[in-house]
Amino acid sequence: MKNFRKMSKKDISKVTTLAMELWPDNIENELYDEFLDEYSSENSEIFVFDEDGLRAFCHCALRFDYVEGCTNTPTGYLEGIYVENNYRNKGIANQLIELSIEWSREKGCMEFASDVELNNVSSQEFHEAIGFSETNRLVTYIKKI
């Protein structure tokens, strides 16, 4: 598994930069602080692909609350995955997911879940291509009171 490893503390800044590509609406220093917290958590892991610098990351965590479509707890959960454009379609994301699944299994999980926004068709296709099964479609609402 050359070039794949767990994120180190010195990687947090670069992972944050990659994550801003995935979630551009975030505030960078807040995202950095979140990754710093996740780095210290026993219930979270971030795997990276490093080839002359970090090129991809995968953040997984344990969820103890209800996870749509799952029957066991805790559930391993894909919180986010990003691969730089020039490194896509080379199996990197799949390998990062496999590391996350193995980590989840070691933590006692029997299921690994994820979510995708309804309009993110490319992510839906990715999930299905690597073996995820769709369990539900959901539209959420809020009313200010």
**Banded model confidence at residue 1, pLDDT cuts 50, 70, 90:** low
Domain that holds residue 29: 4-129
In a domain, 144, yes or no: no
Q: Residue 15: what pLDDT?
A: 97
Of 85, 39, 40, nearest to 59 by C-alpha is 39
Segment 24-39 shows an average pLDDT of: 96
Q: Residue 143: what pLDDT?
A: 84
In a domain, 139, yes or no: no
In a domain, 14, yes or no: yes
Work out the mean pLDDT of the chain and round it to a whole number: 94
In a domain, 59, yes or no: yes
CATH code for the domain in which residue 74 is found? 3.40.630.30
Q: Using an 8 Å Cβ cutoff, are 103 and 60 in contact?
A: yes
Give the whole-number percent of the chain exceeding pLDDT 70: 99
In a domain, 134, yes or no: no
Q: Look at the chain and report how many structural domains it folds into.
A: 1
Q: Residue 47: what pLDDT?
A: 98
Count of CB atoms within 10 A of residue 30's CB? 10
Q: Residue 137: what pLDDT?
A: 86
Q: Give the contacts of 45 (CB within 8 A, at least 6 positions apart).
A: 6, 7, 59, 60, 61, 100, 103
Q: For 99-134, what is each residue's pLDDT tens digit? A: 999 999 999 999 999 999 899 999 999 999 999 999
In a domain, 83, yes or no: yes
In a domain, 135, yes or no: no
Q: For 53-85, what is each residue's pLDDT tens digit? A: 999 999 999 999 988 888 899 999 999 999 999
* pTM summary value: 0.91
